[in-house]
Amino acid sequence: MSLKRSYTLIAPFYDAAIDRATRAARKHSLSALPAAPGRVLLAGVGTGLDLPHLPPQHQYVGVDLTEAMLRRARPRAGKADFTGVIGDAQGLPFSDASFDHAVLHLILAVVPQPADCLREVARVLRPGGTALVFDKFLRRGQPALLRRLANPLVRRVATRLDVVFEDVLAHTPELQLEHDQPALAGGWFRMIRLRRV
């Protein structure tokens, strides 16, 4: 099943499964957005669970693969300056250096090619811009046998369980790691801040 088809089907149930479990971590991650107004990319905006927690001074552009997700996201924007765009985070429909910051919440472990997604984010970020990542990642050398065994099935429906963030970041030298902390599930989920050099 394609990712687009899968997320069109799960869009009505996504919030019930994800919202409560990730809300506090999302809010904490978003608190790292700078105070100075800027243009912020929300890569894989999904149903817009981040939107109620965004600081109001920025202009936001949310990209998602499916209209089914964006339909749920748009009403959550409230008074925020938000535009929803259909697009693939692995091939963003924006020009180089067109964003000041980017938010990648629960997207790198979803897309088939996370390194392509992160490279695209680096491409559209201006030098000095930040990327805030919140997702589940394995550590290098971590056995995680059950996750690895479940991955071939689970990745066809919703998400990957085998992404090693350090391996993804290695493909994007333009992004430097500034902050990395465990967030949920005993450190399986992490909050990461990157800076575009």
| pLDDT for position 21 | 82
What CATH number has the domain bearing residue 137? 3.40.50.150
Indicate the burial class of 53 (C-beta count within 10 angstroms; 0-12, 13-18, 19 or more): middle
In Å, the largest CA–CA distance within the chain is: 45
pLDDT digit of tens for each residue in the chain (197 aa)?
565 665 555 556 667 677 788 899 999 999 999 999 999 999 999 999 999 999 999 999 999 998 988 999 999 999 999 999 999 999 999 999 999 999 999 999 989 899 999 999 999 999 999 999 999 998 776 665 555 554 454 455 556 668 899 999 999 999 999 999 998 767 778 999 999 99
- In whole angstroms, give the CA distance from residue 107 to residue 100: 19
Task: Please state the domain count of the chain.
Answer: 1
CB 191 within 8 A of CB 133: yes
Enter the DSSP assignment of 188. Answer: T
Enclosing domain of residue 30: 3-196
Q: pTM for this structure?
A: 0.86
